[in-house]
Amino acid sequence: MQYTSYYQSPLGKMIIASDNIGICGIWFENQKYFASTLKEVFMDLDTNYADQAKNWLDIYFSGKIPDFMPQLHLIGTPFQLDVWNILLKIPYGHTTTYGNISQELVKKYHKEHMSAQAVGNAVGRNPISIIVPCHRVIGANGKLTGYAGGLDRKAKLLSLERAI
């Protein structure tokens, strides 16, 4: 069974989805790929996992670095999971590029090259906004590109972290 809870962030209302394993989704209301991992049948309920996520988000939006990670349940393809696990390694206040992530995957998969576009698609489908920090991925030219929650939110998140 999946459960949903709501969080009012400074950047808009968010929905938090959890199951018996952990947080499986956090989306800004009506963002691209909204509720992508949410099943048709769910129940509105504040779970311990949702409370962990809300606490983490409260600390984050206060401008501090959370010193814990809520229990996550990432749901995706093996490639998406590999990309999202790389996102989790991007430190607060830092950014990386789609190309850098591609190069990391080239090494992991022992390939000659990896499409930055494929990486971008996986980054864009990240179902756990902010906690899995896809907002920290920028274009090779330093431009803000592709954030399912909107580029204005991406800019505000990076500004909060003093990354731009």
Report phi then psi at 16, rounded to 5.
-115, 125
Residue 134 annotated as catalytic? yes
Q: Is 116 helix (H, G, I), strand (E, B) or coil?
A: helix
Distance CA 130, CA 82 (A): 17
Contact predicate 81/132, CB 8 Å: no
Of 79, 98, 88, the residue nearest 143 (C-alpha): 98
Q: Which residues are bridge partners to 28 per DSSP?
A: 14
49: tokens are: 């996992």
Beta strands 96-97 and 137-138, pairing class: parallel
Distance, CA of 48 to chain centre? 20
Q: Which of 38, 101, 114, 134 is catalytic?
A: 134
Residues designated as active site: 134
